[in-house]
Amino acid sequence: MASTSTASAFVHSPRWQQFYQLTKPRVVQLIVFCAAIGMALAVPGMPSLQQALTMLAAVAGIWLVAGAAAAFNCLIEDGIDARMKRTAWRATAKGELSRTQTLTFSALLCAAGMALLGFYVNVLTMWLTFATFIGYAVIYTVILKPMTPQNIVIGGASGAMPPVLGWAALRGDLGPEPWLLCLIIFLWTPPHFWALALYRAEDYARAGLPMLPVTHGNDYTRLQILLYTWVLFAATLLPFLTGMSGWFYLASAVALGLGFCGYAFRLWRSYSEMLARRTFWFSIWHLSLLFAALLIDHYIA
């Protein structure tokens, strides 16, 4: 999130930092983290030196392509970003980076990431990562986001792919385990994003985007958040029920899931902007700690 101080500081940022901010580093960090967890879970025990090198190449490649998708998103939405307080500080929205510069930057990042994955990881991971780029940068940003309030639900499929990419990087195939992790992120995305959209509804309305709080109202959105958190809670138990993880993960999933459901219930009963913000930030911790618990459980086992 960009505060006013961040926005004013960005005015004097050097050019390299303007390009770096286009990659949405906080978002990409979570994407790469989930992909790295998928890589670690794909290897029984500690990775060998060769596997560790493959992991490094895969992390770098996925980061580059994810950053390229984020930059392309900034390119497509420069006009929308300029009308929203949350994003008006971006260099593309302010006209400090031209569309040609942004497109070239995105293309170079994507090409470098694809080459890294293709030469040093495997072709399956390369094409899956490129498909994720298309899913977010084109299908979600260009088609779904301006057309339907279900944009984040449908478009969330591409954002849920990082564990699948990580698993494919180390295994070279796709078993059921990474798709289970993909399902968890897919169900996590709507309540995570809608909590943000609740307290940014005026921004989205000003930009003309049909986000759920804009099209269906605050009350309906809060109910959807509550329902999704309970479905998500059930899905987070599946790794234990299928034998993919053990008791440490189960205890962590139950604690984190009840915490998220608790925030959603309070938000449903009595709305406040502060509570919506807290729900949004807890959702980030929820996913991060849930996947960290999977990793710890993996090595304990």
Q: Which residues contact 127 (CB under 8 A, 6 or more apart)?
A: none
Q: Would you say how long the chain is, in residues? A: 301
68: left (phi over 0), alpha (psi -120 to 50) or beta: alpha
pLDDT at position 89:
82
What DSSP state is assigned to residue 141?
Answer: I
pLDDT of residue 97: 87
**Mean pLDDT, the chain, integer:** 91
Using the structure block, give the residue that is written with the tokens 């959105």.
Answer: 221
Q: Grade residue 5 by pLDDT with cuts at 50, 70 and 90.
A: very low
pLDDT at 127: 96
Average the pLDDT over 183-209 and give the result: 93
User: What is d(CA 45, CA 109) in angstroms, rounded to the nearest whole number?
Assistant: 33
Percent of the chain whose pLDDT exceeds 90 = 70
* pLDDT value, residue 4: 36
pLDDT of 2 > 50? The answer is: no
Which residue type, as a one-letter code, is found at position 141?
T
pLDDT of residue 116: 97
As a whole number, mean pLDDT of residues 92-119 equals: 93
CA separation (Å) from 300 to 40, 152, 209, 296? 13, 35, 46, 6
Q: What is the pLDDT of residue 278?
A: 97
Determine the pLDDT at residue 137.
Answer: 87
Mean pLDDT to the nearest integer, 117-137: 95
Query: So what's the pLDDT on residue 3?
Result: 37
From CA 294, how far away is CA 273, in angstroms rounded?
32
Q: 161 or 84: whose pLDDT is higher?
A: 161
Q: Which of 214, 286, 282 is nearest to 254 (CA)?
A: 286
pLDDT at 295: 95
pLDDT at 12: 56
Nearby residues of 180 by Cβ (< 8 Å), 6 or more positions away: 238, 239, 242, 244
Structure tokens at 245: 């993880």
Cα(233)–Cα(256) distance, rounded to whole angstroms?
A: 9
> So what's the pLDDT on residue 146?
87
Residues 6+ apart with CB under 8 A from 83: 203, 206, 207
Q: Given this model, what pLDDT does residue 1 score?
A: 34
Distance between CA atoms of residues 258 and 252, nearest Å: 10
Question: What tens digit of pLDDT does each residue of 24-79 get?
Answer: 999 999 999 999 999 999 999 899 999 999 999 999 999 999 999 999 999 988 88
Per-residue pLDDT, 80: 83
User: Which residues have CB under 8 Å from 165's CB, separation 6+?
Assistant: 35, 38, 58, 62, 125, 128, 129, 132
Q: What tokens were used for 72?
A: 């392309």
Identify which of 208, 193, 195 has the alpha carbon closest to the alpha carbon of residue 82.
208
State what percent of residues in the chain have pLDDT above 70. 96
pLDDT tens digits, one per residue of 225-281: 999 999 999 999 999 999 999 999 999 999 999 999 999 999 999 999 999 999 999
